[in-house]
Amino acid sequence: MTQVRFSADRVRSVAVLGAGTMGHGIAHVAAVAGCAAALYDVDPAAAARAVDKVRANLDKGVELGKVDAATRDAAVARLRPAKDLADACGGADCVIEAVPERLELKIALFGDVDRLAPAHALIATNTSSLPVAAIAAALADPSRMVGMHFFNPVHVMKLCEVVRHDRADASAVAAAVALAERWGKTPITVQDSPGFASSRLGLVLGLEAIRMVEQGVASAADIDTAMKLGYGHPMGPLELTDLVGLDVRLGIAEYLAGAIGPGFTPPALLRTLVAEGKLGKKSGEGFYRWVDGKKQ
Ligand code: NAD
């Protein structure tokens, strides 16, 4: 009988690389589901902050009666900031990368991960749009990499887009699907193509909404209300752009404009706001003003 190379059941210990918006959320869901999670970040303070952030989110869950105190305590006990990349990856059964959306950065990081992670480890990237095959090429064995695209905030959003590239081992894809389920997510499987399913479609709406603000068709708030009340979206495309980060959306639009076509060309208003440092919720202003994390 041939041995299945990768299995979600064998994942006990996870390394999360990049401890920002997505990294801390991925560590959160892994730890709640019973995995030990080591967080590595080039900025050691970010890894420590990420652990505090998960604890604060779980505290909020306990306050709201959604999480019991024992689950919170056990999850927090499974988290740790890693000293360095070797410390994070050394004992990992699964490595998930969530560093900024730059292909060369991810390729350089995975060159090191390849040496440091055990051969049995499933390797995943949380890229929102970059070609997974190009990132996987940094590994001696690209077949063990898949895309696991989580959504922000990870502990709340149910979707995980599992991205299958041409050289991926079928058991790596199946393991990623099962792991996402084990972590409380609903996985979908998508072929490796620019923007996958979610970013490609989501961006069409987001960019068109920005063009409509630019052309004075309606205010940001009214456009968002149109999609909420007219189409049943839980949040409008401009508020969502503020949550994701205008810089993040600009990066994806630039990439998709080259990879798919000019329909994704970033509107001038998006470029202007990013150049002015108006990046959305994280900077306090985007299409809305944000104070203490709340839309004004
Ligand atoms: P972020 O800027 O919040 O966090 C990235 C972290 O990576 C930072 O703490 C940074 O210090 C760290 N970092 C930078 N270089 C590093 C390196 N070489 N090694 C280790 N850490 C390093 O970014 P984010 O929003 O969490 O995005 C991370 C990835 O997730 C991107 O690929 C992004 O496209 C994707 N993503 C983002 C969202 C979102 O809504 N923000 C949603 C889905 C996917």
What is the CATH number for 21?
3.40.50.720
pLDDT tens digits, residue range 110-123? Answer: 999 999 999 999 99
Ligand 1 binding pocket mutation candidate from 21, 240, 283 (most atoms within 8 A of CB)? 21
Let me know whether 175 and 212 are in one domain.
Answer: no
Let me know whether 80 and 121 are in one domain.
Answer: yes
Last residue of a domain, one of 191, 220, 242: 191
Q: Is the pLDDT of residue 1 over 80?
A: no
Cα(87) to ligand 1 centroid in Å equals: 19
| Helix, strand, or coil (residue 42) | coil
Residue 152 Cβ inside 6 Å of ligand 1? The answer reads yes
Pairing label, strands 79-81, 36-40 = parallel
pLDDT tens digits, residue range 192-251? Answer: 999 999 999 999 999 999 999 999 999 999 999 999 999 999 999 999 999 989 998 999
Let me know whether 134 and 14 are in one domain.
Answer: yes
Let me know whether 240 and 155 are in one domain.
Answer: no
Rounded mean pLDDT of 24-30?
Answer: 98
Q: Residues 40, 84: contact at Cβ < 8 Å?
A: yes
Let me know whether 35 and 168 are in one domain.
Answer: yes
Q: Residues 14, 95: contact at Cβ < 8 Å?
A: yes
Residue 25 Cβ inside 6 Å of ligand 1? The answer reads no
CATH number at residue 218: 1.10.1040.10
Instruction: Pick left, alpha or beta for residue 184 (phi over 0 → left; psi -120 to 50 → alpha; otherwise beta).
Output: left
Q: Is the pLDDT of residue 7 over 80?
A: yes
Cα(23) to ligand 1 centroid in Å equals: 7
Let me know whether 150 and 219 are in one domain.
Answer: no
pLDDT tens digits, residue range 153-170? Answer: 999 999 999 999 999 999
- Residue 235: name the closest of 256, 196, 206, 214 by CA: 206
Domain of 261, in residue numbers: 199-287
In a domain, 136, yes or no: yes
Ligand 1 binding pocket mutation candidate from 16, 22, 149 (most atoms within 8 A of CB)? 22
Instruction: Name the residue at shortest CA distance from atom 41 of ligand 1.
Output: 244
Let me know whether 137 and 282 are in one domain.
Answer: no
Rounded mean pLDDT of 69-93?
Answer: 98
